Structure 1
Amino acid sequence: MAAGNPPLLDAVRRSQRLLHRRALVAAAASAVPLPGLDWAVDAALLSRLLPQINAQFGLAPEQLDRLDPGKRAQVQKAVGLVGSVLIGKFITRELVLRASQAIGLRLSAQQAAKYVPVAGQAVSAVLGYGTLRYLGEQHLRDCVRVVQEAQLQLPAPGGR
Structure 2
Amino acid sequence: MFPHSLAELDALKNDCKAMVNKRAGLSAVAAVIPIPGADIGADMTLLLEMLPAINQKFGLSPAQIASLDPQLKKIVLIGITSIGSQLIGQVITKPIILQILSRLGARVASKSVAKFIPILGQALAAGISFGAMKLVGNAHVDDCYKVAKQALLATQKISK
The DSSP-based 3-state class of the residue aligned with 2:99 is helix
1:36-75 to 2 correspondence within 5 Å? 36-75=37-76
Q: Which has the higher helix share?
A: 2
SS of residue in 2 equivalent to 1:151: helix
Q: Is contact 1:23–1:132 with CA below 8 Å preserved after alignment? A: yes
Does 1:15 find its partner at 2:16?
Answer: yes
Cα deviation, 1:18-38, whole Å, max 9, x if unaligned, reads 111111110010011111111
Query: What is the CA–CA distance in structure 2 between the aligned matches of 1:33 and 1:68, rounded to whole Å?
Result: 50
Runs of at least 5 residues in structure 2 that lack an aligned partner in the other structure: 155-160
Name the TM-score, length of structure 2 as normaliser: 0.88
CA distance in 1, matches of 2:89, 2:109: 30
What residue identity is the alignment partner of 1:59?
L
Over aligned residues, Cα RMSD in angstroms?
1.6
SS of residue in 1 equivalent to 2:91: coil
Q: Percent of pairs identical after alignment? A: 33
Q: Residue 149 of structure 1: CA displacement?
A: 2.6
1:60-113 CA distance string (max 9 Å, x none): 111112101221111111100010100001111211111232211011110110
TM-score normalized with structure 1 length: 0.88
Query: Aligned to 2:104, what secondary structure does the other structure show?
Result: helix
Q: Which runs of 4+ in 1 moved over 2 A?
A: 148-153
In 1, are the aligned partners of 2:79 and 2:150 still within 8 Å (CA)?
A: yes
- 1:76 maps onto 2:80 in alignment: no
User: Between Structure 1 and Structure 2, how many residues are aligned?
Assistant: 150
